[in-house]
Amino acid sequence: MSKLYYDLDANWDMISSKKIAVIGYGSQGHAHALNLKESGIDVTVGLYKGSKSWHKAENDGVKVAAVADAVSGADIVMILIPDEKQGQVYRDHIAPNLKAGAALAFAHGFNIHFSQVVPPDNIDVFMVAPKGPGHLVRRMYTEGKGVPCLMAVHQNFTGNAQELALAYARGIGGTRAGVLATTFKEETETDLFGEQAVLCGGVTELIKAGFETLVEAGYQPESAYFECLHEMKLIVDLMYEGGIGMMRYSISDTAEFGDYMTGRRIIPDATRAEMKQILAEIQNGEFAKKWILENQANRPVFNAMRRSEAEHQIEKVGRDLRAMMPWLKK
């Protein structure tokens, strides 16, 4: 098994007197900034004038400054704005203000791996990527727990980049759960593959295909929704807690037999071959290029898909059903 790093492996002295600029105050940004601050670190959040997040950060008691000002005083600059904006903000506001010997940090490898950010030689570049949404990174920390993180070093100018990354992971609670060393390449490629083939693209299409099959066969959309979407969480929760085995232990033997008989017809060799092709397009940069150009063109495909997906029948049925589940109400 690969080595995992925990609290006691992290040298807190590496970071305890450092100034950290957290750029962005969204999902990850608010979690990193607040967790680091409560860990005793001097944190400044970097935003732009007129940003909606500015007041939010101030109300949370965090220091806020324009990106350039936050960066010029910082020993570590963690970039937590949307991936597609990082290149521009880096070139305009971060690079001109980064001091020699400072560290540039990321929570995802995309921009370094696909050369949208090209850092100078005289800084450290590392990644601390929580394997969970930002709001969980925050909530788990306040509960004395943590979200596991990946850590990687792209550039080790000071010779301390990995120790710095590990101490940073401790500051956000990551070493409470375990930190795994990886590379920018591995994190970027596995993250993109996972979200496309399995977690997001794979799961949503599987759910919709099941739902449509039942509805087209004349079954009530409500029962198709419960069966294909609602129950997905219950099944995944069991796997999360105890692996596939625990899920199969909990379901009926009839369901387990159906699982063995049918799973491979749903994911046949053709699907596995397509997965390999998708991975190849991630590895050779084709997907990255598509996404970068899509953003430069103002997202025509992304916006059209977002609109048409929002109109799918499963979304309408789901809205009505969830409205009757009081525990889901915000």
Chain contacts with ligand NDP (rule: CB under 6 A): 23-29, 47-48, 51-53, 67, 80-83, 85, 89, 107-108, 129-130, 133-134
Which DSSP helix (H) or strand (E) runs through 214?
A: helix 201-216
| Annotated binding-site residue? 220 | no
CB closer to ligand NDP, 165 vs 317: 165
Which CB atom, from 98 or from 247, has the smaller least distance to ligand NDP? 98
Residue 187 annotated in ligand binding: no
Place of tokens 């979690």: 31
Compute the least distance from the CB of residue 192 to ligand NDP, in Å. 10
Query: Are 24 and 193 spatial neighbours (Cβ–Cβ below 8 Å)?
Result: no
Of 89 and 207, which has the nearer Cβ to ligand NDP? 89
* Token pair 């925050």 in the structure block, residue: 138
The least CB distance from residue 55 to ligand NDP, in Å, is: 9
Determine the straight-line distance between the first and last CA of the chain, rounded to whole angstroms: 41
Q: Which is nearer to ligand NDP, 130 or 221 (CB)?
A: 130
Count of H helices and E strands in the chain?
17, 9
Least distance (Å) from Mg ion to the CB of residue 238?
13
Q: Is 27 annotated as a binding residue?
A: yes
Assess 83 for contact with Mg ion (CB under 5 A). Answer: no
Pick 41 or 70: Cβ nearer ligand NDP: 70
At its nearest, how many Å lie between ligand NDP and the CB of residue 269?
32
For residue 285, say whether it is annotated as part of any ligand binding site: no
**Separation between Cα atoms, residue 144 and residue 180, nearest integer Å:** 20
- Output the residue with the shortest Cβ distance to Mg ion: 191
Long-range contacts, 92-98 (Cβ 8 Å, 24+): 93/46, 93/66, 93/67, 93/68, 94/23, 94/67, 94/68, 95/119, 95/120, 96/68, 97/68, 97/69, 97/71, 97/72, 98/71, 98/123
Beta-strand ranges (E) seen in 52-168 are 63-66, 76-79, 103-106, 124-130, 149-155
Among Mg ion, ligand NDP, none, the one that 187 touches (CB under a kind-dependent 5 to 8 A) is: none
Position of minimal CB gap to ligand NDP? 26
User: Which of ligand NDP, Mg ion, none is residue 265 near (CB under 5 to 8 Å by kind)?
Assistant: none
- Binding residues for Mg ion restricted to 156-195, rule: CB under 5 A: 191
Q: Which does 82 bind (CB under 5 to 8 A by kind): ligand NDP, Mg ion, none?
A: ligand NDP
Residue 25 marked in a binding site: yes
Kindly write down the DSSP assignment for every residue of 278-321, as one continuous string: HHHHHHTTHHHHHHHHHHHTT-HHHHHHHHHHHTSHHHHHHHHH
53 assigned ligand-binding residue: yes
Phi, psi of 312 (to 5 degrees): -60, 145
Q: Which is nearer to Mg ion, 43 or 129 (CB)?
A: 129
Of the residues 108, 113, 135, 312, only one is catalytic, namely: 108
Residue 55 annotated in active site: no
Backbone angles phi, psi at 42, to 5 degrees: -80, 105
Collapsed DSSP state (helix, strand, coil) of residue 135: helix
> Which pair of tokens denotes residue 207?
């759910």
**CB of residue 52 vs Mg ion: minimum separation in angstroms?**
23
Cβ 87 to ligand NDP, closest distance in Å?
11
Residue 39 annotated as binding? no
What are the residues whose beta carbons fall under 8 Å from the beta carbon of 121, sequence distance 6 or more? 155, 157
Count of residues in contact with Mg ion, rule CB under 5 A: 1
Annotated binding site: 25-28, 51, 53, 134, 191, 195, 227, 231, 252
Active-site residues, by number, are 108
